[in-house]
Structure 1
Amino acid sequence: MRISTKGRYGLTIMIELAKNQGEGPTSLKTIAQANNLSEHYLEQLIAPLRNAGLVKSIRGAYGGYILADAPTKITAGDVIRVLEGPITLVEGIEEEEPAQRELWIRIRDAIKSVLDHTTLEDLASHSNDTETDGYMFYI
């Protein structure tokens, strides 16, 4: 399974909206500038997210987008499935030899579990961490 820029940038949009939750709508221009991305490309990604009911659009001079639900209720898996389709690792898994089939199923299930248990709240709070130390030691 390969996550394309659609999935990655779609998650970026959703994380930015989660960070700004409760502060009013966020424009795609703001998200594009903050992340050095193409606003035109983000416009193409927001439509399926809106159609899937993950975001709502707000019209007007100070319009933009907001999450349709709380960041704790939307997962990375929700976003990836909308933009990338079903999470599959290997095509034609049914024809695989049993040991290999079991391996592919376990890997797929592990990926699904991570995506489905990681909320936008988790991602937004993690991206707000300013601490750069990778390790913490307690004695």
Structure 2
Amino acid sequence: MKVNPQNLPTETFEWGAIKWFVSPEHTAKPNVTFGEVILLPGKGHDRHNHPDSEEILYVLSGEGKQMVNDEEAFTVCAGDTIYIPAGVFHSTYNTGWEPLRLLAFYNPGGAEALLRELPDFRKLEKNEILELVRKMK
């Protein structure tokens, strides 16, 4: 099955956006979830865990800090892979000037459903464009 990202919704948050390429929500019975995460400069995804799913993150571009298992955060950049066992707390923050782009993989899939319960969640349909707005201080 070929997946065209243009035909999928985008999930947005105060910290960035996610496009799930393969997920139980819109793919015929997958056992995994796979997608691209974009963290905006200076933003991040706070400490959380996925009780029943392990996660793999692969950094496509940008630079950030990754915390795993409440240990000291370490720097991540393009080409780095991070493995997070099921139930382990973790967080990811963009420390650079450009978007931090990651591929995210959950096994088993379905852990992404909890993101939709966050107060800043907004779903953009396939024809909606994500707008980035610069705040003036």
Which category describes the TM-score, using the shorter chain as reference length?
Answer: under 0.3
Higher fraction of helix: 1
Q: Which has the larger radius of gyration?
A: 1
Please, what TM-score do these two structures have when normalized by structure 1?
A: 0.27
TM-score w.r.t. length of structure 2: 0.27
